[in-house]
């Protein structure tokens, strides 16, 4: 998956004493951001996709999981605000 941009630190990181951390989208399906670097954490483990031996298998599994979320959420979609529905996976 391609990076969609870089972002400054997130609320959760700041709460753990990590300030001014550059963020990037690494997963466009789930819209998840991760730090580009983090003190005392090996850079290779910051992107789960890079921890898989075969990145194509990771992509396939991420797509399968996204479909499962979408299918399961159909039951609740009419009961929550549109912004909640819009925060779901994008495939």
Average pLDDT over residues 10-26: 61
Please report whether residue 34 resides in a domain. yes
Please report whether residue 75 resides in a domain. yes
In the predicted model, is pLDDT for residue 12 greater than 50?
Answer: yes
Please report whether residue 68 resides in a domain. yes
Average pLDDT, the chain: 79
Query: Which residue range is the domain that position 20 belongs to?
Result: 6-86
Average pLDDT over residues 36-65: 87
Please report whether residue 26 resides in a domain. yes
Q: How many domains does the chain contain in total?
A: 1
Please report whether residue 72 resides in a domain. yes
Please report whether residue 1 resides in a domain. no
Q: How confident is the model at residue 91, as a pLDDT?
A: 87
The pLDDT-based confidence of 38 (bands split at 50, 70, 90) is confident
pTM value > 0.85: no
For residues 36 and 54, is the Cβ–Cβ distance under 8 A?
A: no
**3-class DSSP string for 18-69:** CCCCCEEEEECCCCEEEECCCCCCCHHHCCHHHHCCCHHHHHHHHHHHHHHH
Phi, psi of 70 (to 5 degrees): -60, -45
The pLDDT-based confidence of 17 (bands split at 50, 70, 90) is low
**More confident site: 89 or 3:** 89
User: What sign for the dihedral angle of Cα 17, 23, 28, 31?
Assistant: positive
């Amino acid at each position: 998956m391609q990076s969609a941009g870089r972002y400054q630190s997130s609320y959760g990181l700041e709460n753990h004493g990590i300030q001014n951390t550059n963020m990037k989208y690494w997963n466009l399906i789930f819209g998840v951001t991760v730090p580009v670097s983090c003190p005392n954490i090996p850079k290779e483990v910051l992107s789960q996709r890079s921890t898989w031996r075969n990145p194509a298998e990771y992509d396939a599994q991420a797509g399968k999981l996204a479909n499962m979320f979408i299918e399961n959420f159909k039951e609740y979609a009419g009961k929550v605000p549109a912004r909640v529905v819009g925060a779901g996976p994008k495939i």
